């Protein structure tokens, strides 16, 4: 079963569809599982490649919030902050095979594996707080961004959004569909399997193959594998036909009765979203390039000081808000965790006591007592499942708030440092002018020096 990822962009109201083939060689099967991922404040790759994506007929400024993002980030010198990132983008060791990362800007068939949660968080910060705002700022400033820069930045963004879409899909697919979509197949060894019996006496076999409908003792010219197998459900097939069936229907069921033939032979389910793990080489390179760049101003005017002070106040308010939201999210997670173990539908001790009794003397238990136990057990399982699902949602929300809190701390630190550097420039200029005035006083021997000092002090006080 192949996986179709539909990306719905709110910024331009466009959709894109990517296919993740279930075959590792990129071959598609005849079954599709469709999953839609909604992306706010984003535009599709076609609009991205326009000279100015804001000129697209379907552009939604209230959804994209582009101008607001750039205005919010302008105090942190995006050009300098992303200079190393932009330089590295053109030489990243991205997988360059057909339909892989290096071709995300032009292909709709992708072969990729899901990044782990830590890598996904780092990539999100690189894209949404460095590369994309810097790209948007260049567009708003009227710069004609070169095609190579557009493609490289778009590639990294598409890696992120497709990983998010795949992570969402992993939570909706069942175990078998997820295994198949990720290319995990089982090729049964018919010689050493408890589910099949090879038939050697083909002369005694008069039935037809349940797949190709040809006689079992008939084989196409040039067919190498002429063996016949009989399943545990008493159906017979050409071994080659059954192998090809399992390639296209990797669930492991019988073509005739749909009985699971390989239930005990299926591989381990691949991890949906690993918490931690190694970073790809290209992401490690980009991660080293992230650093807040706080330029030391050569000169500071009163409007500059006002702007920096307002940015500092805004960053502090955002930090307080992010801290409160993270604290609330963390408290909700703790409460939900405690509820799973303490607030139960039926006392766990009663369930365990009955389970021990069932194990030791099941025949002596009355039917009504067993039915009451089953009802209580299922209610307990249902209640626990509901609370576990709620906890999963709260954990995801806490992760988002934690990331926002981390970003708010970084921005607050950058705003505080920028304001301090500006004050240092003003203070240094005051001292220089005082020294010049004192020198003028010594040389004039008159009141001109004092008047110069007073005049410069008043000017500097107005700046402060």
Q: For residues 250 and 269, is the Cβ–Cβ distance under 8 A?
A: no
Highest mean pLDDT among 31-45, 64-78, 210-224, 359-373: 359-373
Give dist(CA 248, CA 180) in Å, integer.
10
Q: Region of 230 please: left (phi>0), alpha (psi -120 to 50) or beta.
A: beta
Provide the angle, in degrees to the nearest 10, between the axes of the packed helices 367-444 and 117-126: 40
User: What is the distance between the alpha carbons of residues 273 and 167, in angstroms, rounded to a whole number?
Assistant: 7
Summarize the confidence of residues 153-169 as an average pLDDT: 85
- Select from 322, 452, 340 the least CA-distant residue to 387: 340
Q: Is the Cβ–Cβ distance between 252 and 193 less than 8 Å?
A: no
* Segment 190-247, tens digit of pLDDT: 555 555 666 655 454 667 888 888 887 776 655 555 678 887 788 888 877 877 776 6
Mean pLDDT calculated for residue range 244-265: 65
- pLDDT above 50: residue 187: no
Locate 108 and state its tokens. 């709709």
Q: Which of 33, 162, 36 is nearest to 100 (CA)?
A: 162
CB 392 within 8 A of CB 336: no
The more confident residue out of 13 and 31 is 13
Residue 74 scores a pLDDT above 80: no
pLDDT given at position 320: 92
Decide the pairing of beta strands 2-9 and 14-20.
antiparallel
pLDDT of res. 328: 92
Q: Looking at residue 182, what DSSP letter applies?
A: T
- Closest to 49 (Cα-Cα) out of 163, 141, 153, 124: 153
Q: Quick one: pLDDT band at residue 457, thresholds 50, 70, 90?
A: low
Burial of 342 (0-12, 13-18, 19+ CB in 10 A): exposed
pLDDT of 459 over the 60 cut = no
| Selection from 415, 390, 430 nearest residue 311 by Cα | 415
pLDDT tens, residue by residue, 106-120: 677 776 667 888 888
pLDDT surpassing 60 at residue 179: yes
**For 409-426, what is the mean pLDDT?**
81
Q: What is the Cα–Cα distance from 278 to 76, expressed in whole angstroms?
A: 30
| Residue 179 token pair | 């295994």
CB 255 within 8 A of CB 210: yes
Is the sign of the CA dihedral 42, 162, 401, 405 positive or negative? negative
How high does pLDDT run on average in the chain? 74
Task: Please give the pLDDT value at position 124.
Answer: 86
């Amino acid at each position: 079963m192949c996986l179709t990822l539909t990306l719905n962009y709110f910024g331009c109201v466009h959709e894109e569809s990517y296919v993740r083939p279930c075959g590792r060689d990129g071959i598609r099967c005849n079954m599709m599982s469709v999953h839609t991922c909604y992306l706010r404040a984003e535009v599709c790759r076609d609009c991205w490649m326009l000279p100015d994506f804001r000129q697209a007929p379907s552009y939604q400024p209230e959804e994209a919030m582009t101008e607001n993002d750039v205005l919010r980030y302008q105090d942190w010198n995006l050009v300098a902050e992303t200079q190393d990132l932009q330089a590295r983008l053109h030489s990243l060791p991205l997988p360059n095979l057909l339909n892989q990362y290096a071709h995300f800007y032009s292909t709709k068939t992708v072969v990729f594996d899901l990044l782990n949660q830590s890598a996904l968080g780092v990539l999100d910060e690189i894209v949404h707080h460095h590369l994309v705002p810097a790209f948007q700022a260049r567009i708003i400033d009227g710069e004609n961004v070169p095609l190579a820069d557009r493609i490289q930045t778009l590639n990294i963004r598409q890696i992120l959004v497709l990983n998010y879409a795949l992570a969402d899909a992993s939570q909706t697919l069942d175990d078998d569909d997820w295994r198949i979509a990720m290319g995990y197949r089982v090729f049964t060894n018919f010689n050493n399997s408890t589910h099949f019996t090879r038939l050697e006496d083909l002369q005694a076999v008069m039935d037809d193959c349940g797949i190709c409908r040809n006689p079992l003792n008939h084989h196409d010219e040039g067919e190498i594998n002429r063996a016949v197998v009989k399943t545990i459900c008493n159906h017979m097939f050409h071994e080659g036909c059954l192998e090809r069936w399992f390639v296209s229907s990797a669930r492991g069921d019988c073509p005739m009765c749909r009985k699971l033939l390989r239930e005990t032979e299926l591989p381990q389910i691949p991890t949906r979203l690993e918490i931690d793990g190694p970073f790809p080489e290209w992401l490690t390179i980009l991660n080293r390039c992230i650093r807040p760049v706080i330029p030391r101003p050569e000169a500071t005017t009163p409007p500059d000081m006002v702007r920096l002070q307002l940015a500092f106040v805004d960053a502090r308010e955002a930090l307080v808000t992010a801290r409160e939201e993270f604290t609330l999210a963390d408290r909700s997670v703790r409460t939900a965790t405690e509820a799973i173990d303490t607030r139960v539908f039926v006392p766990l001790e009663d369930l365990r006591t009955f389970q021990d009794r069932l194990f030791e003397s099941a025949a002596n238990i009355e039917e009504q007592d067993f039915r009451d136990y089953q009802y209580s057990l299922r209610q307990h399982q249902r209640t626990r499942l509901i609370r576990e699902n709620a906890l999963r949602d709260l954990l995801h929300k806490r992760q988002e708030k934690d990331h926002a809190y981390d970003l708010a701390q970084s921005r607050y630190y950058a705003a505080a440092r920028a304001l301090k550097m500006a004050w240092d420039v003003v203070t240094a200029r005051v001292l220089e002018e005082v020294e010049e005035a004192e020198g003028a006083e010594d040389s004039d021997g008159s009141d001109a020096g004092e008047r110069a000092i007073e005049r410069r002090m008043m000017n500097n006080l107005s700046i402060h």
